[in-house]
Structure 1
Amino acid sequence: MMTNLFSVFDPTSSIFYLPLNWLSTFLMFFILPLLFWAMPSRSLLMWSSVISTLHKEFKLLLGPLSSNSSIIFISLFSLILFNNFLGLLPYIFTSTSHMALTLSFALPLWFSFMLFGWLKNTQHMFSHLVPQGTPSLLMPFMVLIETISNIIRPGTLAVRLAANMIAGHLLLTLLGNTGPSLASSILFLLIFSQILLLTLEAAVAIIQSYVFAILSSLYASEVN
């Protein structure tokens, strides 16, 4: 039962042994460039205002690096948000529900932040391991705790995004599979609950992409 349940998230569709479901990750590169050749619309102006708002928030978090680095986190937010919303459409593979993609986002970012911090701001990175005012007896334990918390950061980022995306899809799948066995009077309640869950999943898609980008920018600000 569990194998069949999770098989809806398995990229098994292939031609010539190529996993075609992962191509949904790159659909934004075929759709978004068309906006630049179109007349200004309300959707394009709304997206421009979203990017402007995100740039202001990243500017506060990153400080002097905001002019050069904010575009990285805005692009990361856009890519994750687009893939999250694509997963809500029928017959489109949700790539952000797999650790293969989320860990590919989190691990290189975290590694680049750590490499930059230890090479350029070594003294700051050492001082960050021991919070100010820590007693001398607790310093070895604080160093150990801070080291472990830094190491597990890419894993927590990846698991948070994948788990939140797959949880709602599993619930929608479970409720949808019970539809044929229900009476007509109860079927209306099932459809109504499915619509509410779909609305909730749309909100989760926005929130999780925002949380991933904000936490990545916070990790970047700590090493500077």
Structure 2
Amino acid sequence: MPVIEVNLGDFRKLLGRDVTTDELMDRLPMMGTSWEGKTEEGFHLEVFPNRPDLLSIEGLARAYASFMGYRTGFREYTVRESGVTAIIDKKVEEVRPYFVTAVVRNIDFDDALIRSIIQMQEKLHVTHGRRRRKVAIGLHNLEPIEFPITYTTKPPEFRFRPLGERFEKDLTQILTEMHTGREYAWTVEGFEEYPMIVDAKGMVLSMPPIINGEYTRIDEATT
């Protein structure tokens, strides 16, 4: 089962209360989690598979606030048509046939939130995503994207700039030379072409489930 790392200062800020680690050590296991010990900046918590909402510090704080009676009731979020289009190429039917996307606006990113989202994403990959074989999640900066986007496939010689890299690589290089590529190459083993998400001008958003492109990287300026 996944173990998450929680920064106590960030948790207190989200909760709006100055809770102690001793209090949390006593009460969090009542929510169906397992206390795994204190850290220098917070604590580790094992989360059971039936509570994926607790894989982020935001979800954990929300659930704890409800459990303790600080803030009860369902949270409401406004959902409406995004007005953007995603095209699904028939070529993906024999590769990874399912694709879901959404646009989320007006997010105030900071370092803590980015770390939390990445942790939740990776824990979901490992558990419900079966190490990205069943599900892979990608987060992108909307600003540079020109719609419509297309979910398609590309041959091994296709090149793009992967996340964190200064230069372009072809897909074979990504799968054989990069750490993330080698770790997850088994998920696309045997494919003649590989899944790819590109925008209207050909910019690569992602090579799912391997790695995102550099040009839609999320940072603290992303909204």
The two structures have a TM-score, normalised by structure 2, of: 0.30
More strand by share: 2
The two structures have a TM-score, normalised by structure 1, of: 0.29
**Larger RCO (CA within 8 A; separation ≥ 6):** 1
More helix by share: 1
